[in-house]
Structure 1
Amino acid sequence: MPTAKMTRDQRMVLGIAILASFVSFLDGTVVTVALPAIQDDLGGGLTTQQWVVDAYLVTLGALILVAGSLSDVLGRLLVLRVGLIGFGITSLAIAAAPTPEFLIAARALQGIAGALLVPSSLALITANFRDAAQSRAIGIWTAATTSAMIAGPVLGGVFVDLLSWRLVFLINVVPLAVTLWLLVRLGHPDERRAGASVDVWGAVLCAVGLGATVFALIEQPTFGWGSPLIWGTLVFGVACLAGFLVRQRVARAPMMPLGLFRVRNFWTGNVATAFIYAALSLNGFVLGVYLQQGAGLPATLAGLATLPSTVLMILFSSRVGTLAGRWGPRLFMTVGPLLMAGGALLLLTVSADFSYWWQVLPSVLLFGMGLTLTVSPLTSAVLGSIDSARSGIASAVNNAVARVAGLLAIAMLAAVVGGSLDLDGFHRAAIVTAVLLATGGVVSYAGIRNTRHA
């Protein structure tokens, strides 16, 4: 059955959504390949590298829920504009960072700006597309934005080797400017939900809880579990997160309405999201760093290592999104993660006698096939299960789950790799990645139910 053509406004909305999310995802991944160069320039070991990644993810994951509420209160387009401008300013600050501490602080501020971008972007799509057209639009959005997650290391590697790691963080200047221009051209009146408000106490409990928990997990190898600083901070963080859940039950306008989780595809999809995106973050970090520090590749080649996955995403994600809209997402969400798990296990062939073509490329190809089958149907299953009036908060919750899962995976990196990212640590990370992905596939098979659209 032919697919209806998009209107001019729909094309512009989709372009805005893609570009706004693109810069957030790009900066979340482009940093990975620059970590060794940052360490050489500013100092710091594995702990500093973890913080450079997680400082961004802490604020992004904690405040992405607030951004969903702000979109309802202030309007999606206004929140997008503020996020884009803030992202540009913090990118300049990161590029000029004189110390690791300054860089980490600037990354945390950038995460705040990034949190404003993704929920509003997806909410624009779900508000302007319906049924199979919505699945196709999310497929196109997925192809572009997930390609940014994978292409980030490629661009970062080229900039690190040929220019400077500092310029890596200025890659997003052009898409930021184009997105702001498209927002002006769109000319849509902004939409606000009457009576909407922001749950301030919920935001504080979520941010403090995540920050304290991640601090304990990252700093534990330095101080040890016996240190009151570590176990005390961890207990405090977990207590705050428990308080956040309690707050969501009683708040008048909760950031994360727990009633959403009564919808089967929503809660199952978010559980699958947690396992899958934890694996994606762990695999991306470990592969980007090990290929440079362990295998001795320059940053450009380390970034190019994942290029085949990017090509697969660009070529087939839109088609997979369309098929998932017609046939339902369950098959794709089951087979995709299992293929990725197989790709992760292929990394066990990496040895001291390193060969990209025989040891890494087969893994990247299989991983890319699985990723292409997974991401668009997963997003459609989660967002398509909730009515469009609540699409903003639904997309915020799903993105928060994805970012927090990645955040915790990186925070636990030292425990996963055994304290050092050598060859044995790399193999341990590959096994953990495969287990996480296989679990995501099993959860999808057991819990997701298909809804077909003509």
Structure 2
Amino acid sequence: MSRTDGRKQAALVLLCAAVFLDSMDLSLMGVALPAIGRDLSLPESVLQWLMSGYAVAYGGFLLLGGRIADLFGRRRVFLASLAVFAAASLAGGLLSEGWPLVVTRVVKGLAAALTAPAALSLITTTFAEGPRRNRALGVYSLAGATGYTAGLIASGLLTEISWRLVFFLPVPVALLVLATAPLVLPRGARPPGAREGFDAAGAVAVTGGVLLLVFALTERNWPAGLMAVLLLGAFVVIERRRSAPLVPLEVFRSATVSAANLAALAWACATIGWQFVAVLYLQQVLGYSPLATGLGIVPMGLAIVVAANLAGRLISRWGLGRVAAAGMLVQGAGILLFLRAGATGDYLTVLLPALVVHGIGNGLSFPSLNIAAVGGLPDERQGLASGLITSSVQIGAGIGVAALAAVMTLGGSVLAGYRIAFLTAGGFSLLGALIAYAGLRAPRPVPTIARQGATS
């Protein structure tokens, strides 16, 4: 391996470590919330915002984060946002008041919204399109897909000792990345005319619209949802009229990019929504402790790792659409296998097969969607493409959790509510499989936009 290749591989490891932290932080609070509430005497409304505050900020600022990475330098944005992420994590572990804790979670969500697209666009601009980029994106996808599951596992293990460790966990990893990254990350030239090309009106409209959309889904606040629709509509109008738009709508002329983002939204509705419900099911119906819940999920995480490592080879042989669709069908099968569990599901014969099958499908589908979402776009659009796909996943997570939490109330009993939720999550997987199979083809290059400032 040459020195250049060695630096690229080291950079990939560091970038994936940061994305792993971002994904993990989505789920770290899940198992720890009851312990935090008991220790600090916090009402349920405050506890909910320890989770949703992170998701709202993360989902709301992703598109803006991707464009900021393109305009002001991916390396610079990555390092600065990761430093903020580490500082907010440390502060959260030291605080003992409810709403200040929520503020640290919101700040971390904002930092993650800058870190994730900067990291992904650094990968796609470091590795040329083709097998090497596909392998790199497979590793990146593995880090993102396992991060959420690892957060559930770590939350269960650490909460048995102290919930504060859940806040402290990301700090040493983030500091290690910050210390090493300047040595291996490519500097890259700052795009010309970056500040002149910034679309402030579009940024305000899309960020406000997505923030309100995630808030409406989390709180079931329909007036906020209506306002979100109006703002997102205004965003489309603004982008059509701007000479240097935040999101050039021409990128959606690529059927592959559009289908990848729609399928990723359905993917997240299914898998993130299902994992949220499954954790509640294990603890509330089957009586698992936080530690038992975390350990019980380990096989699913291992299955994701194995499948994601195989995804690149399967994509080269069968193509993005087939692998993504097959993965989402397998993922859905794992979800539906939970219907066998009932009120006293045996772990080895019922739960374990469902978890492993879900993990295999999860590990196959997620890399395919990431590769499709950024393929064929020029380097100056990689931050934008990265922000789009990550935003699709986060918005999908919000929709999935809100939808499954709502349908859980429809059954005549607690167990019937869980069954309806599992069926709904399986339906999301099927929808995503259909979109992926029909819409994902070999990506075709999208020509760089010729208007003044469009390549800034």
Q: TM-score, normalised by structure 1?
A: 0.90
Mapping 1:89-238, distance limit 5 Å: 89-130=87-128, 131-161=130-160, 163-186=161-184, 188-196=186-194, 197-220=197-220, 230-238=221-229
Partner of 2:382: 391
Stretches of structure 1 lacking an aligned partner (at least 5 in a row) = 221-229
Is the 1:36–1:293 Cα contact (8 Å) retained in structure 2?
Answer: no
SS at structure 2 position matched to 1:246: helix
Q: Is the 8 A contact 1:61 1:115 kept in 2?
A: yes
- Give the C-alpha shift of residue 54 in structure 1: 2.0
Task: Tell whether the 8 Å contact from 1:76 to 1:191 is kept in structure 2 after alignment.
Answer: no
Aligned ranges for residues 23-422 of structure 1 at < 5 Å?
23-42=21-40, 48-130=46-128, 131-161=130-160, 163-186=161-184, 188-196=186-194, 197-220=197-220, 230-418=221-409, 422=414
- 1:202–1:254 contact (8 Å) kept in structure 2: yes
Task: Give the structure 1 partner of residue 420 of structure 2.
Answer: 428
- What is the CA–CA distance in structure 2 between the aligned matches of 1:97 and 1:244, rounded to whole Å? 38
Aligned partners of 1:12 and 1:182 also within 8 Å: no
1:269–1:382 Cα contact (<8 Å) kept: yes
- The 3 A distance-change label for structure 1 pair 350 and 70 is same
1:448 aligns with 2:440: yes
CA distance in 2, matches of 1:231, 1:147: 33
Compute the displacement of 1:314 (Å).
2.2
Matched residues in 2 for 1:403 and 1:51: separation? 16
1:91-116 superposed Cα distances (whole Å, 9 cap, x missing partner) = 12322343433332221111111111
Distance 1:39 1:159 in 2: 16
- CA shift at 1:326, angstroms? 4.9
TM-superposed CA distance for 1:336, in Å, is: 0.5
Match of residue 453 from structure 2 = none
Tell which deviates more after alignment, 25-34 or 416-425.
416-425
Match of 1:224 in 2: none
Dislocated runs of 4+, deviation >6 Å: 3-6
| Matched pairs, number | 440
Q: How many angstroms does 1:50 deviate by?
A: 4.2
Cα deviation, residue 198, structure 1: 3.1
Q: Secondary structure at the match of 1:98?
A: coil
After TM superposition, give the deviation of residue 47 of structure 1 in Å: 5.3
Shift of 1:150: 1.3
Whether the 8 Å contact between 2:60 and 2:214 is mirrored in structure 1 is no
Q: Is the 8 A contact 2:59 2:214 kept in 1?
A: no
Check conservation: 2:63, 2:207, Cα contact below 8 A: no
Aligned amino acid, residue 166 of structure 1: R
User: Aligned pair in 2 of structure 1 residues 419, 391: CA closer, same or farther (>3 Å)?
Assistant: same
Query: Alpha-carbon deviations, 1:177-211, whole Å to 9, x = none?
Result: 12112222126334321123433222322333233
SS in 1 for 2:168: coil
Amino acid at match of 2:77: V
Q: Deviations over 1:229-269 (max 9, x none)?
A: x4433322221222222223223333322111100110011
2:145 touches 2:363 (CA, 8 Å); kept in 1? no
In the TM superposition, residue 29 of structure 1 has moved relative to its aligned partner by 1.9
Contact 2:310 2:364 in 1 (8 A): no
- How far is 1:412 from its partner? 3.8
Q: Which residue of 2 aligns with 1:227?
A: none
**How has the CA–CA distance of structure 1 residues 451 and 76 changed in structure 2, closer, same or farther, with 3 Å as cutoff?**
closer
**For the residues of structure 1 that align with 2:40 and 2:224, how far apart are their CA atoms?**
27
| Aligned counterparts of 1:353 and 1:284: Cα–Cα separation in 2 | 19
Q: Which amino acid aligns with 2:178?
A: L
Could you tell me whether the CA contact under 8 Å between 2:270 and 2:400 is conserved in 1? yes
Higher mean C-alpha displacement, 384-393 vs 97-106: 97-106
Report the more deviating stretch, 427-436 or 183-192.
183-192
Partners of 1:389 and 1:48 in 2: CA distance: 41
Q: How far apart are the structure 2 equivalents of 1:46 and 1:59? A: 20
Distance 2:376 2:417 in 1: 39
Kept in 2, the 8 Å contact 1:330–1:449? The answer is: yes
Structure 2's unaligned 5+ residue stretches are 445-456
Give me the identity figure in percent: 30
